[in-house]
Structure 1
Amino acid sequence: MTDRAGTPAQPSDLIDVDALRRAYYELKPDVSIPEQRVVFGTSGHRGSSLNTAFNEDHILATTQAIVEYRNAQGITGPLFLGADTHLLSEFATTTALAVLVANEVRVLVDEFDDWVPTPALSHAIIKYNREEHGDQADGIVVTPSHNPPSDGGFKYNPPHGGPADTDATKWIAERANEIIADGLKDVRQAEPSGVETYDFRGNYVADLENIIDVKAIKDSGIRIGADPLGGASVNYWQAIAERYDLDLTVVNPDVDPTWSFMTLDWDGKIRMDPSSPSAMASVVARRADYDILTGNDADADRHGIVTPDGGLMNPNHYLAVAIDYLFRTRTGWRKDAAVGKTLVSSSIIDRVAESLGRRLWEVPVGFKWFVPGLIDGSVGFGGEESAGASFLRFDGSVWTTDKDGILLALLASEIRAVTGKSPSELYRELTERFGDPVYQRVDAPASPAEKAALGKLDGDAIAATELAGEPITAKLSRAPGNDAPLGGVKVQTEKAWFAARPSGTENVYKIYAESFAGEENLREVQEEARRIVGDALKGA
């Protein structure tokens, strides 16, 4: 961690807006270079135009590929198009619109030329398709989420409203790279005209009363602060305050493509991560001014919860509190609705689910795994350790199939209003019942070959029988919830666990670890995790 973490950004930390614009339009990718290819991760294609990873050619080709994909899938309804506040999002939206219009796709953009949070786009797709127009809608959201200001992102959401699965993204990426390699000859472009509009904000905000007890929040009179961190939720929070007459202040309404008002993240970069104590330092400093204070990232799919008594909550802690509260209060949900979590989320969630008499549904990393369960109501809540989650409406029907940071932030206010206690106070009560785990993610070096081997490693390849002095109870390479590959391994004991997964962008692998036996035991788990994984990779 840099010693500047948590301090205000200085002029030398800011992006050169003109250089970023020039690079987007002038630099031409060479797809024979891996770093310059279109590559879809768990949340779309991301990169910076400065290193020729997110440029006009990428977006022209990717949009054309999406058009061809939706045609092949028989998707003939409207395509909802939204974007966050990153500078490259503005340029990429203009590029995409020219391709979509030329291909005679019915595009719906924001009625007020506003930014569109990821959950608002997912909500729009689901709403249209629920109304049964005789065709199916899908969408594109232009966002690199919480990534630095120099980055851009481009994400496709099919008719289910959530992140596209790997079958779709693999096809789209491969086709986009073919188009670039062929000189963009297959790309159709036209001057956008006659584009339809949609009130993303109005529809989303008006519907919140069907999933959040806004009356309880209003009647309680609690003081709420919401910091959009310069992101797409800025006008949504003001609209929520006005529609539901809440004592809610938009703490910082500024939108600046350089994010000059941010404090630096742990590594000295500007990153709009509401789960990071360093990125949220200026927000946390105001915790005494509000009963609940929240933050969102640039596309508002992540949440950060700040309380007067606890500061910024660890995302795992808040997920446990949210699950405990929701499954006790949402009587309209199916009695067999499961608790959804990723395998690298805290095991205190397992214990909360068991106490509620609810089935735990563990899946690999990636919110896309929760989509089917949220759609049919068999999963009441789906959450990731990285501060992303969504849940069902009061009546047990689907709300969004993508992460919703606005929703989870509002839920914190409902919890405070209904229980009279802060979420951090409720988490302390959970630890008194279930134990107080310590959790950390660290990185370990790995070559590309080792990363590839780890991604395919079978749990049976692990020879160890003990972890930090405890018998190993499970060695997993597939998720118990849906039997999908983890892209790594997870090793468990009664008191602790670790999971190892290769990084998609760096020559490291990630070790997630947790212990209910204290900090010293956690360090021992982490040390043994490196040895266990190392031994397994030698034999792979």
Structure 2
Amino acid sequence: MDPIKIKFGTDGWRAIIAQEYTVDNVKRVAEGTALWLKQQGGTRVVIGYDCRFAGELFTESTARVLGKHGITSLLAPTFISTPMVSLGVVKTGADLGVVITASHNPPSYNGFKLKSKLGGPSIPDDVTAVENLIPDEVPTDLPTIEELREQGLIEDHDFEQIYLDHVYANFDMDLIRNADFGIAYDAMYGSGQSAMIKLLPEARHLHCEYNPSFMGQAPEPIGRNLTQLSDVIKKDPKLSLGIANDGDADRIGLFDENGDFVDSHHILLLLLMYQYEYKGIKDGEVILTFSVTDKLKQLAEQYGLKYEVTKIGFKYIAEIMAEREVIVGGEESGGLAVSGHIPERDGIWIGLMIAEYMAKTGKSLNDLIQDVYDKVGSFNCDRDDVHVENDRKWEIVKQAEENPFKKIGSYTVTDVKHLDGTKFFLDGDDRWLMVRPSGTEPVLRVYAQGADAAETRKIIDAGRAEMSI
């Protein structure tokens, strides 16, 4: 049987365990990684795995392939988050990071992410170069882990502790722990669980056990997947903040004191306000992906800051953060980054920053959101992922690009922008509808912003009616 062609997607290679994601195919990817790294003169790689099935086995398989090429693998004693790998690369001076994770995908998946020596995602050109070096053949005659240890080609590092030390150096953890509000944390059975139990021992911890099945739930920290966290907050008046992370803890979900979900659009605005007004960080730019609210540009303009809109995918933000000072960067799907840390999404870090903001100001999360609204006006954002036949999906995308709507429902289209999908501005700048295809699934993503939840839903429904989906 011919070997499968392994392709890296937006954030690494992902596949279903025991179908395409096998030990042999992981060895092939590791071989391509080793060949590329040797071309760069690299000799040391941090390898980490999350809480998915057989993470340790796939990690050791990767280390054995790298070891055959004389490359040293730096390993953690147990599962760690993706940001712990990225920070570990920086702190140890390693040349590359590898994370065995499928992030927020369903439990049947695993994956292989590459992290640069700068502490963020490897740039697309480097990922493509690795992909092109993946052989059809499975590497053989590999050394054992014991043999690699004897040769000094395995190093043991406590990357979780390195990360915790970094947190303690950058946050007032005593202030957060002793604040007059309670915190609930949902690990979604992911790799943030151990660190957050240590950082916030008094918090209410949900799904902080090792369970590779994730109880059948994709560990994606969005509102509909976190109803238990919401209910816990609603039933306990002492709890005023809910934090959730995905499987590898690089994304965040947030809940206010009412148990209501707070989306990434609002979190980005909160982070910018905290960094600029309270922490005094005024040098740098604001980077946002195309699907993020334009209110973030509005706040950046009020602060006199430059901003840039990128295609969707954190890798585009990370590329800019590697070269320029960025105060806040983020995407709609929960991947957010700030200055003073690595150029990487980090759900734990962002959660702690919001908790510290609340503790320092003595304000509730809703009070802080109102501060944002006082500056840029209130708004609501939402998204539908609509399953459509692929042919129909691309028809709609082509129409949006070549013959865009003049009206959507009762709204007049006043401007149209194309970058990574198409965004229709409706009756001005505060309302919009955006259409973007999934590159891998028969799914059309329909985003919208309105004044409130009811208007946002009205805009999405009107857009779907126009597109007959």
The TM-score by the shorter chain falls in which range?
0.7 to 0.9
Residue type of the alignment partner of 2:339 = L
Task: Pick one of 409, 416, 420 that aligns with 1:475.
Answer: 416
Equivalent runs, 1:83-482 vs 2, <5 Å: 83-110=49-76, 113-129=77-93, 137-176=95-134, 179-180=135-136, 183-184=137-138, 186=139, 189-192=142-145, 193-194=148-149, 195-218=154-177, 220=179, 222-241=181-200, 247-260=202-215, 270-274=217-221, 276-287=222-233, 288=236, 289-331=238-280, 333-335=281-283, 337-393=284-340, 399-448=341-390, 461-468=402-409, 470=411, 472-478=413-419
Give the corresponding residue for 1:508: 443
Match of residue 263 from structure 1: none
Flag the 1:387–1:463 CA change in 2: closer, same or farther, 3 A: closer
Structure 1 pair 330–94 and aligned structure 2 pair: CA distance change class (3 A): same
In 2, the alpha carbon distance for the partners of 1:385 and 1:518 equals 17
Supply the distance in 2 between the matched residues of 1:529 and 1:249 (Cα, whole angstroms): 40
Per-residue displacement from partner, 1:246-305 (whole Å, max 9, x unpaired)? Answer: 744544431112223xxxxxxxx511122x233212222221243323221121101122
Secondary structure of 1:79 counterpart? strand
The equivalent position to 2:424 in structure 1, one of 486, 491, 499, is: 491
**Counterparts of 1:497 and 1:392, CA distance in 2:** 29
- Relative to structure 1, is the Cα distance of residues 225 and 463 closer, same or farther in structure 2, using a 3 angstrom cutoff? closer
Equivalent in the alignment of 1:24: none
Deviation at 1:367, TM superposition (A): 0.8
Q: CA–CA distance in 1 between the matches of 2:415 and 2:141? A: 52
1:408 partner amino acid: I
Q: Which residue of 2 aligns with 1:14?
A: none
Give the match's secondary structure for 2:224.
coil
What percent of counterpart residues are identical? Answer: 22
**Alpha-carbon spacing, 1:199–1:527, altered in 2? closer, same or farther (3 Å):** same
Letter in 2 for 1:62: V
Deviation at 1:309? 2.7
Q: Deviations over 1:16-45 (max 9, x none)?
A: xxxxxxxxxxxxx844xxxx5322111111
Question: How many matched pairs?
Answer: 458
Q: Does residue 7 of structure 2 align to residue 53 of structure 1?
A: no
Q: Which stretches in structure 1 are left out of the alignment for 5+ residues?
A: 1-28, 130-135, 261-268, 394-398, 479-485, 535-540
Normalised by the length of structure 2, the TM-score is: 0.88
Shift of 1:237: 1.7
Distance 1:317 1:430, change over 3 A: same
Q: Which amino acid aligns with 2:62?
A: A
User: Residue 39 in 1 paired to residue 17 in 2?
Assistant: no
8 Å Cα contact 1:60/1:187 also seen in 2? no
How big is the shift at 1:187?
A: 5.3
Task: Kindly provide the amino acid, as one letter, of the partner of residue 71 in structure 2.
Answer: V
Deviations 1:309-342 (Å, cap 9, x if unpaired)? 34332232222222222221232x353x122221
Report the aligned-residue RMSD: 2.8
Question: Shift in Å at residue 157 of structure 1?
Answer: 1.1
TM-score by length of 1: 0.77
CA 1:322 to 1:310, structure 2 compared with 1: closer, same or farther past 3 Å? Answer: farther
Distance across 2 between alignment mates of 1:233 and 1:116: 7
CA contact (8 A) 1:64 1:188 kept: no
Partners of 2:224 and 2:455 in 1: how far apart?
24
